[in-house]
Structure 1
Amino acid sequence: MRVAMIKFASLLVVLFCVSFLTFLLYYYAPGDKALAIANARYIGEGSASVELVEQIRQETGIDRPLLVQFYLWLQAIVQLDFGISLVSQEPVSEIFVSQLGETLELAFSALLVGMSLAIPLALISVWKPKSFVDRFAVALSSVGAAIPSYWLGLIFILIFAAQLQLLPAYGTGSLEHLILPAATLGLWVLASQTRLIRSFLLEASTAPFLKGLRIRGVGSKELFCRHIVRHAFVPFITMLGLELAFLLEGAVIVEVVFARGGIGSLLVHSVMSRDFPIIQCVVLFSAVTYVTINSAVEIFQWVMNPVSRQG
C-alpha cells in the first residue's frame, strides 16, 4: 500500500511538471499574444487599436507575473477549461472532444489489426523455431521497424488509391476511409509487437522452473500453453499499454498523411494558425496520457510481481 501511494504521489508530481512545461510553451511563445487574440477575435475589422489590445491583456491576465498566470491557468485546467480558440472563438474543450473520437478510432483499429496478427505469428514462431513462419516473423520485425509510417502511408495511397482505385486516399466518415490509415499504423504495431512477444516467449521458455516440469513428465504442448505463454503474459500486458500511448502519438503523422480529422490534424492546423490554447490542450493531453499509462503499467507490474511487493 505504501509503495502504491508513493507511485501515485510521484505521478502527481510528474503531471504538475508536465503542466508547468506546457504552460511555458505558451508563455514564451514569440509575438504579442494580446494582439493575436484581438486580430483573431475581430478579424476583418482592420488592425486592433492599442486600447483594445491593452483591454484584452488585462482581461486575460497576460500582463500579470508568470506564476500568477500559471496559477490561474492551472485552476482553469483542473476544471477542464482550456480557454477559447483564437481562430474560431469556440471553447477549446469542445473542439478537442469533437476531434478526439477520430484519433481514438484510428488508434484502436490499428491496435486491433496489429495485435490480431502479431500474437498468432509470434506464438507459431516460438512453437516452431527456424521454420518459415519464424524466419518470416524475424524479417517482418526488422523491415517493419525500419519503415517510417508516413512513407508506408504514401505507398498505400499510391497503390490502393491512385493505381487500383479501391479505397479513398483522404478524408473521414466511412469504413473505407479508415482502412488505409488503420493498415498503416497496424503494420507498424504488427512488426513491433511480433518482435516483442516473440522475445518474451523465448525468454519465458528458458525459465528455470520449466526444467523441473519436464522431469515430471509435463508434455511440450501443455508446457508451452499453460506455463510459457502465461509467464510471458505480464511483460506483454506492460508493452501493450505503452503501445497504445505510442499509437496516440503515431496517429498524428498518419492523420496528416491521409488528411483525416483528429487531434493530429488539429495540432498541425493550430500550429500553422498560432492557435496557442488548442496547442496547449493537445500537448497537455498527449503528455498526460503517456505519463498516466506509463504509471499504470508500473503499478500493474508491481501488483503482478510478488517479489517487488515484498521488497
Structure 2
Amino acid sequence: MGYFLLSRLLSAMVVVLGVACLVFLLIHLIPGDPVEVILGEGAQPADREALRQALGLDRPLLVQLGQFLQGLAQFNLGTSLYSQRPVVELLAERLPATAELALAALLVAIIIAFPLGILAAVRRGTIWDRVATTFALVGVSVPNFWLGPLLILVFSIGLGWFPVSGRTGWDSLVLPALTLGSAMAAILSRMVRAALLEVLGEDYIRTAKAKGLSLSRVIGRHALRNALLPVITVLGLQLGTVLGGAVITEVVFSWPGIGQLTVESIQRRDYPVVQGCVLLISLIYVVVNTLTDLIYGWADPRVRLGTRQ
C-alpha cells in the first residue's frame, strides 16, 4: 500500500507542475495587454511602459515563469493586476461558493442517478429502462449554457419559484445545482445500471435469491455493494468535471464562485488571478482523482498488486 500511495502522490505532483507551466505559458500567449485594459487605450506610452515595468511584464517570459514557480513553491500566487489584492485572498473568498455549488450538484446527481440506475437494471427491457436511457442521452447532450437559461425562463421568470441569479439563500442554489448535476446524473445512472447488470448475473446473487431474500435486500446488501467500485471511479472523475462545468453555470446564474472570477479575470487580462483560478481547479481535480485511486486501491487489492508488477 505504501508503494501504491507514493506512486500516486508523485504522479499527482508531476501533473500539477505540468499544469502550472502550461497555464502560465498559454495565458501569456493569448492576445491582449493587461496594461491597456487597466489604463485604457488613450494612455500615454510612457505611462504604459512605467506600469508594465511596475508589474514585471517587461521581463522575459522564462524569467516570469521562474518567478511564478518560485512563488508557487512558497504558496504565493502573486497579486491581482486589477485590484492589487493577493490572489490567494480572492480565491479564498470565492472558493466556498464553488464548493457549495459542486456539493449540491453532486447530491442532486446521486439522488437522481442511483434510484434511476437501480430501477433500470432491475427492470431491464421495460419502460423504466427506456426512460433511464432517454434521460441519460438527454442529460449528456444538453449543454449547461442552454439548460441554465431554460430553467430560469420556466422556474424563475415563468413560475417565480426561484431567484434568477445571485447567491441569496438555499432557493438560489436549486437551479444552478440542477443545471450542473443533470449531466453527472445522466452518466452516473448509466454506470450504476451497467455495474448492477454485471453483478446481478453472478452466482452469489442467485444463491441469495434462492434463500428467499427480498429483492431490496439482494440489491442493497449484495449487488449494490459489489457494484460500487466502478461507480466510485466514475463519481470521482465526474466531481472533477463538475468544477470545469461550474465556470459556465456560475456565469449563467451570476454565482460568485471561482468560475465567475475566472471569466472576469480573463476579460481584464488579469494574468495572476487567471493562473490562480485554473491552477486551483486543476489541483482540486488532481486531488479528487488521486483520492479516488487510493479508495479504489484500498477496496480492491488487485489494483495495488498490479501497480507493483
After TM superposition, the score normalised by the length of structure 2 is 0.87
Residue of structure 2 aligned with 1:228, choices 223, 229, 235: 223
**Partner secondary structure for residue 49 of structure 1:** helix
Whether contact under 8 Å (1:25, 1:280) holds in the other structure is: no
Dislocated runs of 4+, deviation >6 Å:
42-45
- Tell which has more relative contact order, 1 or 2 (C-alpha 8 A, sep 6+): 2
How many angstroms does 1:44 deviate by?
11
Q: Distance in 2 between matches of 1:216 and 1:166?
A: 50
Partner of 1:63: 59
How many angstroms does 1:31 deviate by?
5.3
Whether contact under 8 Å (1:107, 1:182) holds in the other structure is: yes
**Unpaired segments ≥5 residues, structure 2:** none
Within-5 A mapping of 1:110-121:
110-121=105-116
- Aligned CA RMSD, in angstroms, stands at 2.7
Partner of 1:9: 10
Q: Distance in 1 between matches of 2:115 and 2:220?
A: 13
The question of 1:306 aligning with 2:301 is answered: yes
Whether contact under 8 Å (2:108, 2:178) holds in the other structure is: yes
Residue of structure 1 aligned with 2:199, choices 195, 204, 207: 204
Q: Distance in 1 between matches of 2:16 and 2:225?
A: 34
1:49-82 superposed Cα distances (whole Å, 9 cap, x missing partner): 26x835853773742561x432321121233221
Distance 1:131 1:31, change over 3 A: closer
Q: Distance in 2 between matches of 1:268 and 1:59?
A: 21
The question of 1:159 aligning with 2:154 is answered: yes
Partner of 1:280: 275
The question of 1:187 aligning with 2:182 is answered: yes
1:189-222 superposed Cα distances (whole Å, 9 cap, x missing partner): 32221111111111222346546x3697474634
Partner of 2:262: 267
**Unpaired segments ≥5 residues, structure 1:** none
Partner letter of residue 57 of structure 1? Q
The question of 1:73 aligning with 2:74 is answered: no
Distance 1:28 1:135, change over 3 A: closer
Q: Distance in 1 between matches of 2:129 and 2:32?
A: 56
Q: Distance in 1 between matches of 2:272 and 2:292?
A: 30
Instruction: Give the stretch that moved more between structures: 282-291 or 123-132.
Output: 123-132
Residue of structure 2 aligned with 1:242, choices 231, 237, 248: 237
Distance 1:31 1:151, change over 3 A: closer
Q: Distance in 1 between matches of 2:184 and 2:55?
A: 47
Q: Distance in 1 between matches of 2:179 and 2:51?
A: 49
Whether contact under 8 Å (2:250, 2:257) holds in the other structure is: yes
How many angstroms does 1:308 deviate by?
2.9
Aligned residues: 304
The question of 1:144 aligning with 2:145 is answered: no
Q: Distance in 1 between matches of 2:61 and 2:186?
A: 49
Residue of structure 2 aligned with 1:297, choices 292, 295, 309: 292
Partner of 2:49: 53
Instruction: Give the stretch that moved more between structures: 221-230 or 260-269.
Output: 221-230
How many angstroms does 1:84 deviate by?
1.3
The percent of aligned pairs where both chains have the same amino acid is 34
How many angstroms does 1:229 deviate by?
0.9
Partner of 1:93: 88
Distance 1:218 1:2, change over 3 A: farther
Partner letter of residue 7 of structure 2? I
Partner letter of residue 44 of structure 2? S
Partner letter of residue 9 of structure 2? F
Distance 1:188 1:62, change over 3 A: same
Partner letter of residue 49 of structure 1? A
